[in-house]
Chain A
Amino acid sequence: MLELKNISKTFNAGTVNEKVALKNINLTLEDGDFVTIIGGNGAGKSTMLNAVAGTWLPDCGSVIVDGVDITDMPEYKRAKFLGRVFQDPRMGTATDMWLEENLAIAKRRGKSRTLRWAITRKERDEYREMLKQLDLGLEHRLTTKMGLFSGGQRQAVTLLMATMNKPKLLLLDEHTAALDPKTAAKVLELTDKFITEGKLTALMVTHNMKDAIAHGNRLIMMNAGQIILDIKGEEKKNLTVEMLLEQFSKASGTEFMNDRALLA
């Protein structure tokens, strides 16, 4: 499904601010894998996601989706295969545009945008049905500007927009980090639902160990730009926070230094 081969990335190379973000990352995802990624600040979690999304070009290595090498494909063209939800709820939707317009834009992801009407009446009913699944009462607010919704509502809509076209790969970059615990739980529940129902392959970055353990079928831990743990199958099902911490210190030779992840 997804293959990362020898991806490395150094930011500000040759300056005092040089930062090695990814070191020889190799990762292969099977169809239907739901991988959670955890690690301390600056471990390279988001950087790895951005490498897949095409935010910048890697220094070396290649990104392969379904056998097609997309390393040189510009970000907007890759969007055809990818659904993305960001950490900042303001980033995922166009705040000055209506809810239905946002959905219509997502509906046409990967298709050429022509001079046909942006939204048809048939689509509108479709959107209403989709929004009902979110169970947030948004189906009655199709012509409300996105900017008037709460962060949780926006993340739920962004999630819907990311998954409605069945992307080959869903990229979730700490998409619940900016939400209060109750809303975050709701958005995570929706995430599970969409991934299971759509049989999607997904990468989810999180800072919350419990979430990383409770969701998905595979867990990756990163440290200093490298993948240091890769736990799947039965082992993943029986995982606890304590075991994870122990394995982390064994693999990295240091203590896990992220209070946010421990306290959450």
Chain B
Amino acid sequence: MDFILSLLRSMPGAISLGLIWGIMAIGVYITYKILDIADLTVDGSICTGACVCAILTVNGVNVWIAVLAAVVAGMLTGLITGFFHTVLGIPAILAGILTQLMLWSINLKILGKANLGINARAVKVIVTQLDKSKAIMALIGFVAVVILLLYLFFGTELGCSLRATGCNQNMSHAQGINNRFNKILGLILSNGLVALSGALLAQYQGFADINMGRGAIVIGLAAVIIGDAIFGHISVNFGVRLAGVALGGVIYYVVYQLVVWFGLDPELLKMLSALVVAVFLAVPYVKSTYFSYTPRFKAERKARKIAARKAKKAAKKGGNS
């Protein structure tokens, strides 16, 4: 009974964290799903958002301005990756990794040390784990505004052209769309959102840490995949999809809590997340490569195998005599 109570007590925390990572996952959705770019900048930019927000808040800057500054800083990180990728022609994954590594140094410089606490009792913050119900309400507000703005944006001429760039660069080029600009714009938007999520995360947990972004892309992808798997079938509406991705983040953290509650060593959780994401990413390929045989093909293949075995046996016999 106590166990179950402790599980229930941990749920508001899981939901808050899930919503925060849901915003991050929406950022990942823009690059991974819409632009078709695997952007690894996010491991660094989520930390940049946290660091900028933490250092400003601690130094007495209004928390909203701190969050805004974090978003702008995140956008700049996207701009760097975009520059590497489009102007210098570095493959997207490598461009992201380079920026991510750069950001480790930059984040350390921003923060001044490896870890900085934000005392929610001393400074005003938007979300804190000290008041989870208020945090959840505020986070739902954030998620809703983000989804609404993106929904509107991707319905505009510019947003539509961004989708075209992600879908077919030949077509977009032939239709006079500047693919370079659109890719940079997408990376800026995405990393701005990721940094927003980092800023909220730092406030919520009460500190920014230089290592907090490690493996963020995997959590983001997990949320995107969960969201798509569950809500992709319900509606093709873009808003519903984005909401699904945010909820994917929540589901990820609720499952995370459950797994911890069942007594799994928390140190193994990153491995588990990576494996789960690997499995989901592999499903479409494995399905089409190994499980797409028709019954007739299977029957014929069986017959071929039997025939080959018989032929082998016959050859052996012939060789002996």
Contact = CB atoms under 8 A, between A and B. Distances in A.
A79 B167 CA distance: 18
Interface string A69-95: 000000111011010101000111111
A118 B156 contact: yes
Contact of A97 (B155, B167, B174, B177): B167
A75 B158 contact: no
A117 B157 contact: yes
B175 A95 contact: no
A76 B171 contact: no
Interface string B141-179: 000000000000101111111011001101111111111
Given A77-B176, A80-B176, A114-B156, A105 B170 contact: no
A195 to B, nearest CB: 18
A110 B176 CA distance: 6
B176 to A, nearest CB: 3
Contact of A117 (B155, B164, B170): B155
Contacts of B167: 94-97
A109 B176 contact: yes
A118 B164 contact: no
A92 B174 CA distance: 8
Contacts of A1: none
Interface string B55-73: 0000000000000000000
A115 B158 contact: yes
Contacts of A109: 175-176
Contact of B158 (A86, A95, A113): A113
B157 A108 contact: yes
Main secondary structure of the interface of A (DSSP, over half): loop
A94 B168 CA distance: 5
Contacts of B178: 76
B87 to A, nearest CB: 13
Given A91-B171, A93-B168, A118-B157, A76 B163 contact: no
A161 interface: yes
B168 A95 contact: yes
A91 B170 contact: yes
B31 to A, nearest CB: 15
Contact of B164 (A53, A86, A105, A110): A105
Residue from the set B159, B170, B175 with the largest chain A CB neighbour count within 10 Å: B175
Given A79-B175, A92-B174, A109-B175, A97 B156 contact: no
A116 interface: yes
Contacts of B158: 113-115
A94 B157 contact: no
Given A76-B178, A113-B157, A118-B157, 6 more contacts: A92-B170, A92-B174, A94-B167, A115-B157, A116-B156, A117-B157
Q: Which 4 A-B pairs have the closest CB atoms?
A: A79-B176, A118-B160, A94-B167, A113-B157
6 contacts: A91-B170, A92-B171, A94-B167, A95-B168, A109-B175, A117-B157
